[in-house]
Structure 1
Amino acid sequence: MFLQTLPFLVQSRILSFLGFEHQSLDSGEERVDEEFGSIPDCLKDAASSANELFLPWLPLSHDTLNSRELFAGYESQEDFLSQVGEGSGDNSKDVAEEMEIDLVMVAPLDEEIQNMAASLKERIMTFESSSLTVELANEIRRLSFERDADPFVILGMLEPWKADDETASILVFHLSNGREEEEEIAWPSKVLCSIMLPKMLVLEEPASRVLVISMVEYCKLHQRAAECALLLPLIMKKSGINNHMCDVITRIVKESLHPAHVSAFCRKLLCGEEVEKRSIILPCHQCLLSSQLVWTESLFNLFQNILNHNVQLTQDSVDQLVLLIREVAPSFSKSLKFGNFLLCFITRCSLLLKSRKLLLVEAVAKTNTLVTKSILSKLASF
């Protein structure tokens, strides 16, 4: 027996909670009678007609509460609990927004919407002409906004990141002509994280010219979306960025963003709390991200490129980098890329590093590269 006294989306979340916390909530009929006088007749009748009830006061069976449908969108109960735990430090607005996404994700889509999405997905995989791709983008936008379904869910079903680079470059621009009343950052972010970001997360060779140009131009128009739906999640990749990813990010930083914006972004990466580093990303790609920066030679190279672009780092960003350098210097002791970053860092940020001289000397002394002596000489001049 399944009672639905609340809207489906709300009831789904409540039942998920009950499924996880049933042991602490299983008070038994005696305690209910003791504290509340008696069990309501409607629940007594329902309970007496149900078999093997999970909770004496809730007419749901073990099979119902353990079913995969109850935890739709999660591989296991542990996955659900871990995702709830990750958001425990957010403010109420962030939690509300996250819950709203989760609730929409578990809602079943209308069969007509599913059929339309399947048809559009098939067309995404086949490039015929630019004009037909533009029309395809228009249809995707209409399906995302004119139907009773979350655009994030629709884009996840369509898997537009699997399109070839030419199709992706056309889609990303023509999908952006959505409703003006849509929140400024929301739709462009969804477009970026469902088309460009997945391609970048698996990049193992130089990105195609058409893809890079389209990303650079798109990020010029949507800088906030570029930060939270492309740059941030890419840099937070669980296995760390490689040289090809570094090249793309460097190009976007130099051609699409203002230096002051880049400085603020670096501060978020280096000094921000975990909640500040939350990305806009499809659930199916969330497993590729880390909650902490993964330092690789390519990431140090990226920061060197940023400094060479005359980006002025804040004092707290510089201080955090010094502490990091001291920590990782033994691991990168023979890395020339790390050494080049150190030389660039000390040269570009010398005015902010005078009080950190001894720490830097200690860290540099643990390296042995072609530029180690040059770095120590530079530090001696402070």
Structure 2
Amino acid sequence: MEEWVPLFNIFLHSRSAEGEASFWMQQNPMKASTFLALLTRDVLYYQASAQQYQRAAEKTPSSPPSSSSQAHSVVNKCMWIETLPNAMQSKILSFLTIEHLRFHKSDLCLLATNILKQPNLEFWVMKSAKNLLNTVRGDGLWPVHLDTDDEFNALPQWLKDGNVNDHAILPWLPLSPQSVSRITSEKVSRAMDEVFELQEEEMIDQVMDDSLRNEDGHLEPVSLSSELEPSIRARALKLKEELLSFGEHGDAIRASHFADEIRNLCGLAHTMSVLGIIEPWKADNATALHILNNLVSENESCDYERLSQVMCSFLLPSLLVLNEPASRLLMSNTLKYAKLHQSAAADAIFLPLILRNEGMNIHICDVLSRIVRECMHSVQLSSLCQKLLTEESLSKVVVCQPCHRKDFISDCLVWTEPLIVLFQNMLNQNVYLTEDTVDSLVSSLRNVAERFSKSLKFVNFIIFLVGRYGSLLKVHKVTLLNMAENTDTFISSSLISKLNHL
């Protein structure tokens, strides 16, 4: 049992238990088969009858238990997973859903079904078990003997028992007047003042927004450097001059000096504003990466905002203009920080490169494909796919300097063959797609189908989608057939054949 302690510590204490458990299982792949055997192991427990509890309450503590009372105890049996706290059960079932391909389908079905048979099942355990069963079965159908509430109307029991009475403060939440502190007239007056102040600020912001709009009604990018104090701005400009004269073969001591100066300035002002003045992307590529290594230490704990702003200022500019294979130095540093800081890298490197207004080229595709394979988890890729295919304004989720946003970043996907290849590489990492994401993907492919009618990569991508997400594509069969019939490649007939068998 000692060998499983690290894994169960993850489920017990981690805030992202499913992801960490997946990495742990990748490092211990041979233990996958025995993990389910442990969870489904039979455990015996004794449950006393109600009469026994009543007799035990009437006896004094010194009275020894009688053999007749022991006879009334009932021997029950349950799975070992059911002895764990509900929160751990839910996390374990979610982990099994994500990593379901590592386990036997029949074993997962049996585990989920047996859990759903239990009476008085905790809400989130039930939801996780149903999700596991749905993922493994793949057809969205439940066994007949299981209770199937409407998934969209299901509520936790504490909300159902919250007594939605006539005196509830909020009808959609069980908040009684007794659970809310009394609000005095003074508090009401102060709260109203805050509301009016907020409205006044919003009106001012609206006037500023309208004054910054161009003739087409779009907002002009605002220079963040205008927010800097004159003394900080002067120090940043001086540092910029020193950096540009640093040269390609500068020593490590001066690189450390630049990193310290940038760190000090970022502590006094907004990081993006400071880096917007210094413009580290105009320095030699090797110099910028050397300073970055001193600025962001592997052992240094940095917040997401600062990390994303540093990455988009040091790494992203070189990648945005990449028209040849990335150098070993640039590639190794990009992969290094993408592994260490996945969320920041996703918003400051991955998304901006995908949203490049000229479209992604094959060299950028190679970089992003390496990041996908070596640095990202399937859950994060699923989130990115959903964001790329369903968000209306994609540029809002991108972290980059205003000058780069204006010159390089589009508000929507620009479909090119390298982008199609990248999506296939992403989805090939066992990525789970929701129905709305699949709907958006099919809609996007339909819009560009005529342009890629002679593209082998386009047709091959649809064949891949049919093989991987066939059950979700059945409702789009007619649309996909129309697209396939208008393609002109030597594998078009194979695609039509696959679609006819959906």
TM over 0.5: yes
Residue 109 of structure 1 aligns with an amino acid whose one-letter code is: P
Question: In structure 2, what is the equivalent of residue 196 of structure 1?
Answer: 315
| 1:234-277 deviations in Å (ceiling 9; x for gaps) | 11111111101111111111111111101111100001231684
Aligned equivalents of 2:445, 2:345: Cα separation in 1: 28
Query: What is residue 331 of structure 1 aligned with on the other side?
Result: 451
2:265 to 117, 133, 143: 143
Letter matched to residue 458 of structure 2: F
Higher relative contact order (CA 8 A, sep 6+): 1
| Count of residues paired in the alignment | 300
In the other structure, the counterpart of 1:122 is 244
Deviation at 1:312, TM superposition (A): 2.5
Distance 1:103 1:197, change over 3 A: closer
Task: Please give the TM-score of this superposition, normalised by the length of structure 2.
Answer: 0.54
Could you tell me how far apart the structure 1 residues matched to 2:345 and 2:364 are? 15
Shift of 1:158: 1.7
Q: Which amino acid aligns with 1:136?
A: F
Give the match for residue 219 of structure 2: 83
Alignment partners' CA distance in 1, 2:424 and 2:298: 37
Q: What fraction of aligned residue pairs are identical, expressed as a percent?
A: 38
1:293-320 C-alpha deviation (Å, 9 max, x unpaired): 1111111111111122222222221111
Deviation of the 1:185 alpha carbon:
0.9
CA distance in 2, matches of 1:305, 1:180: 32
- Structure 2 counterpart SS, 1:82: coil
Structure 2: distance between partners of 1:80 and 1:140:
38
> C-alpha displacement at 1:79, in angstroms?
8.1
Match of 1:269 among 388, 403, 420: 388
Which residue of 303, 312, 316 corresponds with 2:436? 316
Equivalent of 1:243 in 362, 368, 373: 362
Cα separation, partners in 2 of 1:225 and 1:375, compared to 1, 3 Å: same
**Kindly tell me: are residues 291 and 315 of structure 1, through their superposed partners in 2, closer, same or farther at Cα, counting changes over 3 Å?**
same
Q: Name the aligned partner's letter for residue 83 of structure 1.
A: L
| Equivalent residue letter for 1:212 | M
Q: Who wins on radius of gyration, i.e. which is larger? A: 2
Task: Please give the secondary structure, in 2, of the residue aligned with 1:317.
Answer: helix
What is the one-letter code of the residue matched to 2:404? H
Counterpart Cα distance in 1 of 2:206 and 2:445: 44
Instruction: Give the Cα–Cα distance (whole angstroms) in 2 for the partners of residues 121 and 179 of structure 1.
Output: 25
The amino acid of 2:281's aligned partner reads W
Distance in 2 (alpha carbons) for counterparts of 1:294 and 1:15? 32
Alpha carbons of structure 1 residues 365 and 170: separation in structure 2 relative to 1, 3 Å: same
Question: Following superposition of structure 1 onto structure 2, how do residues 27-42 of structure 1 map, counting pairs within 5 Å?
Answer: none
Alpha-carbon spacing, 1:247–1:115, altered in 2? closer, same or farther (3 Å): closer
CA 1:139–1:378: 2 relative to 1, 3 Å: same
User: 2:320, 2:353 within 8 Å by CA — same for their partners in 1?
Assistant: yes
Give distance in 2, aligned partners of 1:79 and 1:155.
Answer: 30
TM-score by length of 1: 0.70
Change beyond 3 A, Cα 1:319–1:80: closer
Deviation at 1:116, TM superposition (A): 3.4
Counterparts of 1:179 and 1:221, CA distance in 2:
10
Which whole-Å CA distance do the structure 2 matches of 1:378 and 1:253 have between them? 28
- Structure 1 residue 109: Cα displacement: 2.8
C-alpha RMSD of matched pairs (Å): 3.2
Judging changes above 3 Å, is the alpha-carbon distance between structure 1 residues 80 and 228 closer, same or farther for their aligned structure 2 residues?
farther
Instruction: Structure 2 unaligned segments of length 5 or more: list them.
Output: 1-199
* Alpha-carbon distance in structure 2 between the residues aligned to 1:276 and 1:118: 28
1:333 and 1:320 mapped to 2: Cα distance? 19
**Counterpart residue number, 2:290:** 170
Determine if contact 2:372/2:425 at 8 Å carries over to the other structure. Answer: no
Please state how far the C-alpha of 1:351 moved relative to its aligned partner: 2.2
Which stretch shifts more, 110-119 or 150-159?
A: 110-119
The superposition leaves residues 84-128 of structure 1 with CA deviations (integer Å, 9 ceiling, x where unpaired) of: 7x9xxxxxxxxxxxxxx8676344532642453234433555432
Provide the residue aligned with 2:501 in structure 1.
381
What are the equivalent positions in structure 2 for 1:222-237 lying under 5 Å apart? 222-237=341-356
- In 2, distance between residues paired with 1:196 and 1:252? 14
